Amino acid sequence: MPFERQDVTFRSEGIDCAGWLYLPTGAKGPVPGIAMAHGIAAVKELLDVPAFAEAFAEAGFAVLLFDYRFWGASAGAPRHQIFPAQQIEDFRNALSFLGAHEAVDAGRLGVWGTSFAGGHALHLGAFDPRVRCVVSQVPAVDILRNLKQVSPPEAIEGIRAAFAADRAHIFAGGEGAVLPVVAPDGEACLLPGAHNRAVRERAMAELPQLGNTITLASFERLLEYAPGLIADRIAPTPLLMIVVEDDELTPPDLALEAFARAGEPKSLLKMQGGHYMPYRSESREGFATASAAAAAWFTRHLMR
């Protein structure tokens, strides 16, 4: 189905969030809506996430892909802040924007999230009654357990000491510290590893607004976030989880634990090829598989 894309903004706790609204042009009457967002420390243009929005719009859905506050084209300071509760509130306000649009059926709303936003999709499915369908792709479901799988204990202790020092500095009136998103091997960063670094550096060359830092206070909040623990509260809202079995960034064992806790109706798509396999820039075949599965799940549960 043909579609059009519009630049839109909506308010979230008094701050403007920027997004792209995709509307099918051949639809008769209000259509189901999907709110969707990118992964951690990202912007809506990154990693071909818009290609998923286009696939859903072609399937007949109204889609809102947006930047969280403090990121991309959205307003707010400090820049590059990632507080999970704030991002979830942005998602909720995105749903409110969709539900209020004349072209959208407010009774048929879904959420799609990838990586860190895959965890947000689980949280929203569990707690927001407007959400009627969930797709969670390569989700981050327990950040502290995730960190413990990829970092030695002494590194984690150093991180905790840095949090304490940063809080003391801010309390005394100073500016908060920042943490690189990627860095050379052996240096502290949010996303360690050569593959993450290559993906980020390629993206920064194309998207200079992306940057390569988050606030250190954000990292402290991230370690408090474990949306997989409430997966059992999603049912009876339908859940599709897409898990890459050799994912080096969001451990698949944690995602599969969360999926096991979730009730029916639910479906699991397993893939191979690393964390970025579902994205078109990494693998056109992987993207085709992941996007088709998500579109089919939304169609099954929202096109009624």
- 256 within a domain of the structure (yes/no): yes
% of the chain beyond a pLDDT of 90? 87
Q: Which residues contact 112 (CB under 8 A, 6 or more apart)?
A: 34, 35, 36, 52, 56, 121, 135, 137, 294, 298
- 188 within a domain of the structure (yes/no): no
* pLDDT score, position 205: 92
Judged against a pLDDT cut of 90, whether residue 11 lies above it is answered with yes
Q: Are 137 and 61 in contact (CB under 8 A)?
A: no
- What would the two tokens of residue 94 be? 């995105």
- 246 within a domain of the structure (yes/no): yes
Alpha helices in 73-224 (DSSP H): 84-100, 116-127, 143-150, 153-171, 194-206, 216-222
- 219 within a domain of the structure (yes/no): no
pTM of the model: 0.96
* pLDDT score, position 152: 80
- 12 within a domain of the structure (yes/no): yes
**Phi (first) and psi of residue 289, to 5 degrees:** -65, -50
Q: Which residues contact 99 (CB under 8 A, 6 or more apart)?
A: 33, 106, 109, 130
Judged against a pLDDT cut of 80, whether residue 216 lies above it is answered with yes
- Rounded CA gap, 228 and 128, in Å? 16
Q: Are 25 and 53 in contact (CB under 8 A)?
A: no
- 195 within a domain of the structure (yes/no): no
- 179 within a domain of the structure (yes/no): no
* pLDDT score, position 26: 82
- Average pLDDT over the chain reads 95
Judged against a pLDDT cut of 80, whether residue 30 lies above it is answered with yes
- 267 within a domain of the structure (yes/no): yes
Amino acid identity of residue 52, one-letter, is F
| Domain region containing 232 | 3-142+226-302
* pLDDT score, position 271: 97
* pLDDT score, position 150: 74
Domain total in the chain? 1
Judged against a pLDDT cut of 90, whether residue 159 lies above it is answered with no
pLDDT in tens, 160-212: 899 999 999 999 999 999 999 999 988 888 998 899 999 999 999 999 889 99
Provide mean pLDDT across the span 106-110.
Answer: 98
The CATH number assigned to the domain holding 115 equals 3.40.50.1820
pLDDT in tens, 220-278: 999 999 999 999 999 999 999 999 999 999 999 999 999 999 999 999 999 999 999 99
